[in-house]
Structure 1
């Protein structure tokens, strides 16, 4: 999950001064000033892979949805099994339009009987408006704009966080609970957007500076910016909303069929379910695939995929140089006939041609902790 830049005057997040004091290079992103890097994208990427990086993701939208009919209501706007969520369990899901296109991707967690939903920063006001239109009056939506959100990611994140908040080590991937951290009440999940083990911490914005400082005082932790967040999620094969996902893209073509469990597939009742059922049965026209590009130059969003006659048949939606693999990698939508692993495709960007090979994703294996210690 992530966000698109906007043209509005950027707002500041609770940690704005904290980032600048640590020489964070600030850029406009998703309507906010956010740090793209501190000491360098490559170094921050590698630090997160080997230790623990602290990301400020307070631009994301945090929503609390309440009411006896909240589960059923959410299942009318997204294809996830919301009714099946038990306390402290999380689920990745999607807001869909009537043609099955993706309006946003998001996380839903059961907390104290309510549903805690995290949506992409650039889409949060659109999502809130959409949900207000779609949800019945007896379901309440609270935008938790007084909360900050931090992501502590990497193999040593558990060492740093459990030292400060004992008990978090008992969480496993896609579970969450209430904890105390530095004397502050927080909602902590074992989840993230890097492919590494890690945690996301929802906390009062008023406590964000103190908690971020406390975390970075741990020897395993350094602040990490948007640049490494993007290279990490790309290596992990995770889609970025506004690039790899959009309202014209269905979950099936995006290779996100896992987000529609068996009960929902059988029962339907979510937007675009008829089209999605047809695509499941007959296959989509195009499919999201991973690519390794020959040479050293990345092919980025906006590149095109060509057939043997030089006709445009697909598009690159994300691309960059992989610090871990030391090769350029990309995600693209290609015709299903070109989607099999080891298929060679031709890419074009700025008049230059590149050869690439379709490979399975993730590019770098995920390191999620799925069983308790």
Structure 2
């Protein structure tokens, strides 16, 4: 969490609504954001898993890239196929540096006449500078500072959205399109950060409060804060930039091989060609990396937090926890962290050192819950 003083914090277009709903506001990535509402983190988490939760994610960076060569230019900065991304589809991508480290993770949508990009709040200024420094003159970047972003997630979301916009029912996971909902200009994708079916919706700042209230009028939907957003994404095995990913971690070490498009790593004229490609592709081929991101499950009930060191039964240091919480759905501690390759096999038993006690944990498959994205 940021230590920024309250007077200098930015406010999202939904700030007044959060206060009206009784949210506890905290500094996060330079913004005053709701960490929880009176319902409480655990009940907010379970409500999202069972029905539908509304999240304000307006602190994220939104931008558009315009120009015939926009896809080619962006593809030169990420290990992902952008040139062949179909219109109306969205893809997860990574900005890499020359050392093969991850500068940020982002979502890229092809809207036909432009690319729509969403980047992490804490990396927003850095990412914009990175794009400005690397985009050719024939590609222009438009910052969408005039738009709010919200996510609505959970098994009851599709029914709630269909009442407001019947055409959303036809969308499947990673579909994206522009549409007008109740007179509001929306950019909408069927995606999210909870492991549940849901939508992420960009709306003009001036219409954000109205749109959020339309969603909250639906019987399934409750306002959900950052606390439950974190435990939901962790149960779903999804990385948080600055915690599970950083500039010293490669996609291979981060177990994100699936996020490197096949045509960028195996032969062909478009293999490589992104920052750090030589290092990353060498790790893929030679398997010479020494650590790996894994999921872990705690055997007790004590939550195990970020920064806790992991040891073998013999007392040898095995790794470190990068995200950890008690999972309200799994009903046990769930963690992600980096361990030496020799400790990364499923069912490997390790110990987390918490306040001088060695708590048993086991390497487990992440996600820790069944992901329920709607694929049609």
TM > 0.5 fold call: yes
| Count of residue correspondences | 368
1:64 — aligned with what? 64
Q: Deviations over 1:147-183 (max 9, x none)?
A: 0001000001010011001100100000111222221
Q: CA deviation at 1:311?
A: 3.6
Q: Residue 285 of structure 1: which of 268, 286, 290 is its match?
A: 290
Summarize the alignment of residues 97-136 of structure 1 with structure 2, pairs less than 5 Å apart: 97-136=97-136
DSSP 3-state at the match of 2:363: strand
Q: CA deviation at 1:294?
A: 1.7
Q: CA deviation at 1:317?
A: 0.2
1:43 — aligned with what? 43
Q: CA deviation at 1:346?
A: 1.4
Summarize the alignment of residues 352-363 of structure 1 with structure 2, pairs less than 5 Å apart: 352-363=357-368
DSSP 3-state at the match of 1:321: strand
Q: CA deviation at 1:5?
A: 3.8
TM-score (norm 2): 0.96
CA RMSD of aligned residues (A): 1.1
Q: Is contact 2:93–2:108 with CA below 8 Å preserved after alignment?
A: yes
Q: CA deviation at 1:112?
A: 2.7
DSSP 3-state at the match of 2:166: coil
2:301 — aligned with what? 296
- Please state if 1:174 is matched with 2:159: no
Q: Deviations over 1:49-94 (max 9, x none)?
A: 0111000000000010111111111111111100011111010000
2:214 — aligned with what? 214
Summarize the alignment of residues 134-149 of structure 1 with structure 2, pairs less than 5 Å apart: 134-149=134-149
Q: Residue 268 of structure 1: which of 250, 268, 272 is its match?
A: 272
DSSP 3-state at the match of 1:345: strand
Summarize the alignment of residues 290-369 of structure 1 with structure 2, pairs less than 5 Å apart: 290-369=295-374
Distance 2:349 2:149 in 1: 41
Alpha-carbon distance change, 369 to 6 in structure 1, aligned in 2, over 3 angstroms:
farther
Q: CA deviation at 1:308?
A: 4.2
2:257 — aligned with what? 257
Alpha-carbon distance change, 84 to 101 in structure 1, aligned in 2, over 3 angstroms:
same
1:19 — aligned with what? 18
Distance 1:218 1:158 in 2: 11
Distance 1:5 1:116 in 2: 27
Distance 2:298 2:321 in 1: 12
DSSP 3-state at the match of 1:243: coil
Q: Is contact 2:173–2:191 with CA below 8 Å preserved after alignment?
A: yes
2:234 — aligned with what? 234
TM-score (norm 1): 0.96
Runs of 4+ in 1 over 3 A off after TM superposition: 4-9
User: Structure 2, unaligned stretches of length 5 or more?
Assistant: none
Q: CA deviation at 1:47?
A: 0.6
Q: CA deviation at 1:349?
A: 2.9
Q: Deviations over 1:240-270 (max 9, x none)?
A: 0000000000001111111111111131100
Q: CA deviation at 1:113?
A: 2.3
Q: CA deviation at 1:347?
A: 1.4
Distance 1:262 1:214 in 2: 41
Distance 2:113 2:315 in 1: 55
DSSP 3-state at the match of 2:105: strand
Distance 2:152 2:328 in 1: 20
Q: Is contact 1:90–1:107 with CA below 8 Å preserved after alignment?
A: yes
Q: Is contact 2:312–2:349 with CA below 8 Å preserved after alignment?
A: no
1:150 — aligned with what? 150
Q: CA deviation at 1:313?
A: 3.2
- Please state if 1:91 is matched with 2:91: yes
Q: Which stretch of the first structure deviates more once superposed, 155-164 or 178-187?
A: 178-187
DSSP 3-state at the match of 1:167: helix
Distance 1:13 1:54 in 2: 15
